[in-house]
Structure 1
């Protein structure tokens, strides 16, 4: 039997059960010990449980093939899940920063020893959950967002352990809200790139391609005399869609197909583009810019700048 995907089967079940268990354990420990840092960890784990379920559902939806309702398939379900998970992380972190600031003004006594042992057990469970989802986190925004949830909780547990030692030994109660703020700000910092990337994909933002190099390589193909009206966008972080109008010599359609194959090979092999659409033309558009409307936009910008001067 082949190995299961990181977000299916026993991995998914194990990570979900671990996070539900950690959440209940830390909530109880945080209330009894009076530690905001433990409660913040508990809230993060609660968010993790929701995040993992959401990621799993989105992953399963993304495996569906193309149909009449979604001719590009359902891959963006994972992008939506990554965006929602990251926003959830930032909202939880912002709430914890506000609560930590309040604790600075009104410090409360904390049971450092109990806080320490709860954090140690939680760290072990968080590390196990992180390891279970480590595979695939580098190449999938959805898994990466969920992985970040788990990694942030592991880091939070480490911070809680350090704080518990200081509280138990020298009664530095202010360490608890300070660590809460540091971990929360770190999580928001790490979440922002995921939000930025998912929004760029959903807004049909262009992938990072060398368009001048693409033009140069396509014009080297025998029979190609021009490239214009190019569009490129991403279905998800791993699949790039590319369309272009290509000027060719006037010739039978049967002679055009081999040129198409050469164009597709260049784009797929050299630029990792997964889907290519080419419209062949003889002279139409030969004087246009490679990116449609780019020349008009530049003229408009130059005109506006001239008016301002």
Structure 2
């Protein structure tokens, strides 16, 4: 097996994620207390939103630490997929939260309640500052991998929800427009569903070992077959282990009954070709000569 190493996950700063978790725990506690004191369902629902995000951030933090562990005899890939699983869980919770917010918003449309808007305004400002700082902490890391991007998206939605609560608090204080809070909640929920679905779909593709969307198996096989010694490429699989590693395994028919040393030299050519042209950094080839097996590109195992 050949491989080119490139591990961006090791560069992700877990410390920033831990700071964001601590900040969000503080925000959640403040909103729960404030929600009960003011009688604000908006604050309590935002607190619930923040609490779910604290759990999601904690999952992301643990996954980030696990992903850096070394492989072992019992875990030959280590915990490299921990962050993909975390991204999947976080994306699923984003969608669930969105549905709960929509139900709550519809209920508030039907039965608007007068609340202590002053306390809502001050606590939403605290939440905006805390979430805004957390978003800035994770902005750079969000580009590194799916797990950190899911945590970043959770924090952005927290920030937006807090802004919505602030706007709602101001409109309730000065105009008694209690329905505005429900309208803004619906808008946030729709945004949650959009970003959550995209992340859920992406992480699901990786977990299901689907071929990356930007790679065409026919094109990869054709390019490998252009090497002089190779007759045919078949029984091919291409998948992502995580966001850093793309794997290729295939059976290759050779024109001649070559020596092992010749195969090693050709294997290096294949590794260089697929790495530079397709970004594939792990290659596992089964060499064949005159073997009677299926020569189809895709063979059901």
Q: Give the structure-2-normalised TM-score.
A: 0.89
Output the CA distance in 1 between the equivalents of 2:135 and 2:43: 19
* Structure 1 position 121, deviation (Å): 1.9
Q: Which residue of 1 aligns with 2:233?
A: 227
Q: Which residue of 2 aligns with 1:261?
A: 268
- Structure 2: unaligned runs, 5 residues or longer: 1-9
1:8 aligns with 2:14: yes
| CA shift digits 1:236-291 (9 cap, x unpaired) | 13311110111112221111111010001111121111210011112336872222
Output the CA distance in 2 between the equivalents of 1:285 and 1:243: 19
Q: Where in structure 2 are the equivalents of 1:129-144 lying within 5 Å?
A: 129-144=134-149
Aligned partner of residue 236 in structure 1, secondary structure: coil
Q: Which residue of 1 aligns with 2:249?
A: 243
Aligned partner of residue 68 in structure 1, secondary structure: coil
1:114 aligns with 2:112: no
Q: Which residue of 1 aligns with 2:105?
A: 100
- Contact 1:228–1:285, Cα closer than 8 Å, also in 2: no
Q: Which residue of 2 aligns with 1:306?
A: none
Q: Which residue of 2 aligns with 1:41?
A: 46
1:75 aligns with 2:80: yes
Output the CA distance in 2 between the equivalents of 1:105 and 1:244: 60
1:85 aligns with 2:51: no
1:215 aligns with 2:230: no
Q: Give the structure-1-normalised TM-score.
A: 0.87
Aligned residues: 290
* Structure 1 position 137, deviation (Å): 1.0
Output the CA distance in 1 between the equivalents of 2:132 and 2:234: 51
Output the CA distance in 1 between the equivalents of 2:230 and 2:97: 54
- Contact 1:247–1:286, Cα closer than 8 Å, also in 2: no
- Range with bigger deviation, 23-32 or 189-198: 23-32
Aligned partner of residue 63 in structure 2, secondary structure: helix
* Structure 1 position 205, deviation (Å): 1.3
- Range with bigger deviation, 268-277 or 11-20: 11-20
- Contact 1:126–1:154, Cα closer than 8 Å, also in 2: yes
